[in-house]
Structure 1
Amino acid sequence: MTGKDAARYARYAEAVNTIVGYPSETMVRAIMAVADAELAEQQQPDPLIGRLVACSDPDTGRILAVGRVTEVDRCGSSMRLTAVQYDEPDAPQVDADPAALSP
Structure 2
Amino acid sequence: MIVSLGGLIWGLSALSYASKLNLQNVTVSGNQAVPTDGVTKIVRDTMSGRNFLIFSAANTLWYPKKEITSTLQFTYSWIDTVSVERVNLTTIAVKIKER
TM norm structure 1: 0.26
Please tell me whether Structure 1 or Structure 2 has the larger radius of gyration of its CA atoms: 1
Structure scoring higher RCO (CA < 8 A, sep ≥ 6) equals 2
TM norm structure 2: 0.27
Question: Higher helix proportion, which one?
Answer: 2
